[in-house]
Structure 1
């Protein structure tokens, strides 16, 4: 059954689909199972969505929007590069931690999208990669980070660190998203900072 009957039906569908796609995988989840979890008849789902792939696209789009809204406002903030990178990592991990099911779908199930939707996701991924490359370049230019850093490799390391949090983070665990972000950031920054 849906978590909150007070949510609009479309949001309930997204929440339950995110959970099922996360737990079972996109292909292993049928529309009948989704309808059953929602206490609906199978055909009733189509009054709210166009189909299973449409639902996957909506979940992926919503997740990408959450990352954009969390990260991109940092571009205009006047912070030292190391503080900005630490805050970016915290915000990135918070989006994952607050949306574990949809983050899992976003990072793991997007490969099942049709070519057009797949291209949009890879386009978004390139935008986020550019964002982290900008942060690293800014740190190099300001003298906070080492001048010999490979910007591409450094941004890939940071992205790999924050993106894969969905595979092991547990909200009921002893570490908060801030603890994780601070720990990761300190380890990474110790290798980036200019001596």
Structure 2
């Protein structure tokens, strides 16, 4: 069970709004590292900052103070998830440090990359990077937070679009596969570099990843009662996370086509065991 703290309540409210940690930090004029420290209760939360966060996330400040999680918004006509097109991928506008770090982490690995190399790649001074990211782990954390936030809202939006339980599951798998094909670099980091985190940061990002798996499991159980959901859904998730290792935009199939095929594979796999 998640501990009820101010930080966990802020994180819950942020995710319910589909905001990345970096986005909320920017609105508060904070570094992503400071925002992460607030969400993990490693930095004291002032009353003024708490009310500012409550205003930005449109939740009662009292809920945050009591550590209460924020439930998904109720559907009124079109839900917040439905209002966003999960199939649409605009260019991802990362700040220079994150963009440079993502390239280096994918190219040579998180542990093999130094802060000096990130500084050189981003055109910034080492001191300038340390001002915003006190540790290399904080850069990786920001990238993984962006990754998991985007995966989550797209998965929920795809589920909302389903005509029935099986259709919703197929669309969720399509969404997950599409993300791993289109956002290959971020997806690769999410699948291979989580070991670069430690402590509370690792625990939190692992929880976000596990939530994605739980959402698939839950929908599969609705769609195929009696099927071996746990085994099949882990095979499906692994199938999606492997996409960055082989998919190419210059290949014979588009990202959309591959994602639809993966959705069909998933339904067939679960259907055979029902």
| Counterpart position of 2:269 | 191
Which consecutive residues of structure 2, in runs of 5 or more, have no partner in the other structure?
1-91
CA contact 1:70–1:91 (8 Å) conserved in 2: yes
| Counterpart position of 2:252 | 174
Does residue 67 of the first structure (1) align with residue 151 of the second (2)? yes
Deviations 1:23-82 (A, max 9, x none): 100011111111111222222212332221110111111100010110123444452233
CA contact 1:74–1:88 (8 Å) conserved in 2: yes
Which structure ranks higher in relative contact order (CA pairs < 8 Å, sequence separation ≥ 6)?
Answer: 1
Q: Return the structure number with greater helix share.
A: 1
| Counterpart position of 2:81 | none
**How far apart, in 1, do the equivalents of 2:106 and 2:222 lie?**
36
Deviations 1:158-185 (A, max 9, x none): 1111122122112232221221122222
Normalising by structure 2, we get a TM-score of 0.61
Deviates more, 1:18-27 or 1:40-49: 40-49
Deviates more, 1:67-76 or 1:16-25: 67-76
| Counterpart position of 1:3 | none
Normalising by structure 1, we get a TM-score of 0.84
| Counterpart position of 2:209 | 125
CA contact 1:136–1:154 (8 Å) conserved in 2: no
**How far apart, in 1, do the equivalents of 2:209 and 2:234 lie?**
11
Counterpart mapping for 1:21-170 below 5 A: 21-140=105-224, 147-170=225-248
Q: CA deviation at 1:105?
A: 1.2
**How far apart, in 1, do the equivalents of 2:99 and 2:197 lie?**
19
**How far apart, in 2, do the equivalents of 1:43 and 1:178 lie?**
42
**How far apart, in 2, do the equivalents of 1:59 and 1:106 lie?**
8
**How far apart, in 2, do the equivalents of 1:158 and 1:66 lie?**
19
**How far apart, in 1, do the equivalents of 2:252 and 2:100 lie?**
26
Give secondary structure in 1 for the equivalent of 2:208.
Answer: helix
**How far apart, in 2, do the equivalents of 1:176 and 1:86 lie?**
18
Give secondary structure in 2 for the equivalent of 1:28.
Answer: coil
C-alpha distance 88-75 of structure 1, shift in aligned 2 (>3 A)? closer
What is the alpha-carbon root mean square deviation over aligned residues? 2.2
CA contact 1:90–1:177 (8 Å) conserved in 2: no
